[in-house]
Amino acid sequence: MSYLHNIGTYFLMVKDIFYKPTKWSVMRKLIFKEIDDLIIGSLGIVAFIAFFVGGVVAIQTSLNISNPLIPKYLVGFATRQSIILEFAPTFISIIMAGKMGSFITSSIGTMRVTEQIDALEVMGINPINYLVFPKFIALSLYPFVISIAMFLGILGGMAACVYGGYGTLEDYLYGIQDDFQTFHLVYAFIKTFVFAFILATIPSYYGYFMRGGAFEVGKASTTAFVWTSVVIILLNYILTSTMLG
């Protein structure tokens, strides 16, 4: 029953995100702060991971194409498909569940422990709108992060393939253009928008409704990461079977 209670409380919290909004002059500053913390602050780690994982995908694909009858341009094709369809939208989101999610949960949880949320309620401010809505708006820019991950993943694959001697630049470029379907990008960005909503709300839920002291803040951050990752994986399966099945 505790799971049903948590699910119900979560959806009630999502409803309250848009209830009794904070005045715009205050909200604007909060949104820009969240963009800096959550989006701009994540670009470095996303770029680093995407570039080198793209290289690893290209190398492993090349090493597993041992049959001379298999064209070498499949290295670029396989790298593009892997990066766009799964790695960039899904696995980067799971990584961000650790980075962004832990940050969101710990920051809101600390406010709960230090009774700052209680102070907001006393002042007549809707604390859920004040704390969660800026994160929700900031993460609407999350597809921008994923598009960078897609580009750098394919670029990393190209660098590894060409400079590692696993194929030619012409074969790789032909592969990433071969049989390209625009719907795959649409599918990837639909997943990204859904995952962005999950990244904004589930960690906020565990931070907002936590009870205890500093030790419980750490436990809440861990729990938020686990459940955010679980929900992302489940939704990834549902969206993939629905849109590509």
The domain limits of the chain are 24-243
CA within 13 Å, CB half, 237 = 5
Residues 188 and 88: beta-carbon distance below 8 Å: yes
Residue 86 burial by CB count (10 A; 0-12/13-18/19+): exposed, middle or buried?
middle
Residues 240 and 195: beta-carbon distance below 8 Å: no
- Which amino acid would we find at residue 221? S
Say how far apart CA 55 and CA 75 lie, in whole Å: 11
Residues 104 and 203: beta-carbon distance below 8 Å: yes
Q: Which residues contact 231 (CB under 8 A, 6 or more apart)?
A: 198, 202
Residue 176 Cα to chain centre, angstroms? 24
Residues constituting the chain: 245
- Which amino acid would we find at residue 181? Q
Residues 228 and 220: beta-carbon distance below 8 Å: no
- Profile the chain (245 residues) by mean pLDDT over runs of 10 residues: 82 89 89 94 94 93 79 88 93 93 92 88 89 94 95 94 87 89 93 96 93 84 93 95 86
Instruction: Write out the H or E segment, with its range, that includes residue 80.
Output: helix 74-82
Query: What's the pLDDT at 27?
Result: 92
Query: What's the pLDDT at 20?
Result: 85
Q: Indicate the pTM of the whole model.
A: 0.91
